[in-house]
Structure 1
Amino acid sequence: MSATMSDRTLIRNDTAAPSALRVVMLLGGLGIGGAETQAIALASEMQRDGHTVDLVTLADGALRPVVESLGLTLHVLPRVAGLAFTAMPALTRWLTISKPQVVYAFLEVQWLLALAAVSCIRAARRPRVVLGLRTSDYDAQSPQLKARLVRSLAKRSTRRADLLIANSRAGLDSYRAVVPNAPHGVVVPNGIDVTRFMPSPVSRAYWRGIWSIPTDATIVGHVGRLDPVKDHELLLRAFAVACASDVACHLVCVGHGDPDRVASLEQLAEALGIACRVHLVGGQADTSTIYPAFDLLALTSRREGFPNVVAEAMSCGVPAIVTDCGASADIVAGLGEVAPVGSVDAFAIGLTRLRARCAAALAQDSRSHIVSNFSLGAAASRTAAALQSLFQVDTV
């Protein structure tokens, strides 16, 4: 049999698939973000299933207490002057000592580090390298030179990896379109801890009290950093249109942002005449108690991979309206509303429609959908199966 690029990995590996894996997950840091929270949750669930998973990061951060509370092994790599590439020798030493079977690198800078470090290890002891695809716009050009350089190097290095794991079909298709010689890839949707993200009348009342919003008011919630890619401007404009006549409707945005960004959004809310109903409340390390305070979730992103916030909100019984990017439409699956990226009018119409649809039955259906399709246990099992496939012999 002749090997195609997609079979290359399976032919190369000729040992029996291990029932218990030794995995290093390589992250950029422990700041609050979708990739970081997903990696931590996935590592914990895989350990419960009998695998050994170590977290290795380039920087410490706010999520360290979460890692420690879960009993995960954590190693923060030393760097010189904060430069990522200077962590490569320390990563090589760590991999040589810990002897993982797989290194799972979650973002592009970490891809490059993992591939470089593994290339320095003797072939007989070299772990497999798995790259995580966490977005869906690999054909886009970043305005930042550094980001463009990293992405270009990452694309050129991809062929040296053993497997791609994308958290959305859109992400995998996007990457294959720009890197035709990429290795075999699989789609593993992110997983949600449905025992943690669940409805809570107590949390609902608590946060509404903190925000000084009446218990009977409608809250449209948004969770995500105050970054232009999240398109808060569209959110504010659509909210102003959809909720113009309802003074009991409030918008709560949970997420960190630099002072200039916050000031700009506050000025826009003032200009739209909705400042008294818009609440920019800052970021929270644990959002599981916040979602139940919402009546619906809005996601206006220009690009996404698998937006955890949508599935987390739905797991809490909060239906969502999203822009059609990444896996967003697949997550809501007809239970919410979907609008084209960048369209204020379409998003406002969808927001109005979803408000009219909100009811106890829709809330329950939203949670049931996530429990059935996007549980953390399912994500851990799918990830383990994908990693174990690297050690199976191609017998065809």
Structure 2
Amino acid sequence: MNCLRSGGAEKQLLWIASEIVSLGIPCSILELAAGERTERIEAMVRVALEKGVLVLRAPPHSGNWQGLGRLRRHLSDTRPDLIWSWGLRADGICYLGRLLNAPTKWIMSIRSANTQLGNFGSWIRKQLARRCDGVISNTHAGLVMSEIQYIPTLRQWVLPNAVALDSSTQVDLPDLPPQRLVLVMLGNIKIMTKGYDLAAQLAQILLGKAFLFELRIAGRPDELAELETIFHRLNVQSVVKFYGEVSHPEEFLREGHLFLLLSRFEGMPNTLLEALSVGLPAIATDVGDLRVLKDKGAPFDLVPIENVKAATEAVERALAQWSNTRVAAAKGRGWVQANFSEEACRAVLREILAEVLEA
């Protein structure tokens, strides 16, 4: 793994490692780069350690060559049956290991972030994929956008994100339309990727219509200064509140009335699944596999990417048709449980491991 710091990939990796150990298969995570972990990730690391996962944290200022050396030493010491790389740096290190005749089987993960690499990055990814024994994505769209599905000899699997369901975090939506609608967005502050600039435009339109609302945002503040500049330029800062990086996102979500996902790039957004799982109505852009999920009955409102007008109308419609909004929200938890529960994802993981290890 490149770095266990924060994000959906890190959460999924830790869950998978814990599940592998629960099957009686020893599992270790080798971190290539050092980084400060969020409280939530740190808690998941502790759980993984308690279950028997070996987590090898990267020393400060560790680089690619140091990572390759650490990987080779670890392979020599443990002789694992399988290496599973997460992140482009990790893929590259494993590729170099293959050039050095490491005999261990190697599979790669393709995440939503991998689809934004550009032409050169995608070319690199395909060269790496030709050397490995298979790729796993959390979405069908991830395989399509990375063009890896065009390598006919490469084995490919889709392993959905697992969502932990906690009955204590259910949203208690009001029976009547709220006087002031609380919109919530959750995700690291990557303005173009996550569409926070679009959220600012949406807020400006709603303010112009004298719509009573508040926009609450939580996430790692990577580009917060730039985002605050956008909010001030559009004069919407009075209705926006930033909560920083939250350790318990379900508690943050529970305080909202309507979840917004305005991303330009996503594969399978964990935040949307988490919002639905706590019973929060949601509006999302047509990214990744969300169109497929919508066609299969997912209870959220889907709008075109970068279409602020459509997103604004969806917000207004959610409030105007509040009884319908509450009905859709009530279906969210059951839908997530049927499609993305830990039990459902665990079965898929076991099938993949059996196929890879027995090949």
Query: What TM-score does the superposition give when structure 1 sets the normalisation length?
Result: 0.78
Q: Which has the higher contact order (CA 8 A, sep 6+)?
A: 1
Aligned mates of 1:51, 1:331 — CA distance in 2: 33
Aligned mates of 1:182, 1:136 — CA distance in 2: 24
2:261 to 277, 293, 299: 299
Alignment of 1:156-167 (within 5 A): 156-167=127-138
SS at match of 1:386: helix
Please report how far the alpha carbon of residue 331 of structure 1 lies from its aligned counterpart in structure 2 after TM superposition.
4.4
The answer to whether structure 1 residue 131 and structure 2 residue 102 are counterparts is no
The answer for the alignment partner of 1:353 in structure 2 is 317
| Alignment deviations for residues 228-268 of structure 1 (CA, whole Å, 9 cap, x no partner) | 2112111111233246445541111101224xx42332233
The unaligned stretches of length 5 or more in structure 2 are none
Alignment of 1:37-76 (within 5 A): 37-58=11-32, 59-62=34-37, 63-70=41-48, 71=50, 72-76=53-57
Structure 1 residue identity aligned to 2:317 = R
The answer for the alignment partner of 1:5 in structure 2 is none
Aligned mates of 2:224, 2:147 — CA distance in 1: 37
Please report how far the alpha carbon of residue 185 of structure 1 lies from its aligned counterpart in structure 2 after TM superposition.
0.8
Aligned mates of 1:78, 1:287 — CA distance in 2: 29
The answer for the alignment partner of 1:102 in structure 2 is 82
Identity of aligned residues (%): 21
The answer to which structure has the higher helix fraction is: 2
Could you say if the C-alpha distance between residues 75 and 357 of structure 1 is closer, same or farther in structure 2, counting changes exceeding 3 Å?
Answer: farther
Could you say if the C-alpha distance between residues 315 and 165 of structure 1 is closer, same or farther in structure 2, counting changes exceeding 3 Å?
Answer: same
The answer for the alignment partner of 2:189 in structure 1 is 226
Could you say if the C-alpha distance between residues 304 and 354 of structure 1 is closer, same or farther in structure 2, counting changes exceeding 3 Å?
Answer: same
Q: Is contact 2:301-2:314 (8 Å) kept?
A: yes
| Alignment deviations for residues 170-207 of structure 1 (CA, whole Å, 9 cap, x no partner) | 11112236853561111111111113784156xx9xxx
Question: How many residues are paired up?
Answer: 343
Aligned mates of 2:31, 2:264 — CA distance in 1: 28
| Alignment deviations for residues 40-73 of structure 1 (CA, whole Å, 9 cap, x no partner) | 1232234344443322212243123431134232
Aligned mates of 1:198, 1:45 — CA distance in 2: 24
Q: Which moved more, 1:267-276 or 1:89-98?
A: 267-276
SS at match of 2:229: helix
Q: Is contact 1:323-1:340 (8 Å) kept?
A: yes
SS at match of 2:112: coil
2:230 to 240, 264, 268: 268
Structure 2 residue identity aligned to 1:42 = I
SS at match of 2:249: coil
| Alignment deviations for residues 349-378 of structure 1 (CA, whole Å, 9 cap, x no partner) | 222223344544322201111011011222
| Alignment deviations for residues 108-148 of structure 1 (CA, whole Å, 9 cap, x no partner) | 2111112323554653xx2x211111127747628xxxxx5
The answer to whether structure 1 residue 389 and structure 2 residue 351 are counterparts is no
Q: Is contact 2:82-2:357 (8 Å) kept?
A: no
Aligned mates of 2:238, 2:302 — CA distance in 1: 27
SS at match of 2:217: strand
The unaligned stretches of length 5 or more in structure 1 are 1-26, 143-147, 205-214
